[in-house]
Amino acid sequence: MSIRHFHLWNIIVARKEDAEKEDFKLIVKEYQTDAIKEALDRQYGGQTIPVW
């Protein structure tokens, strides 16, 4: 079976007590950018769909 038959998700999660920490907020902020969308598109040829 090829990888195309699977639905894969990349999810950023945190424990409730860590969700408001500045380090975690920075990771989310840096990941959810147009530059990351473009890099994902180049790397995976449009096979990923950022949903932030």
- Kindly report the pTM of this predicted structure: 0.64
Q: Which residue has better confidence, 7 or 43?
A: 43
Higher pLDDT, 32 or 7: 32
Amino acid at position 29, single letter = K
Work out the pLDDT band at 33, boundaries 50, 70, 90. very high
Note the pLDDT of residue 24: 93
Angle at CA of residue 11, ends 21 and 2, nearest 5°:
160
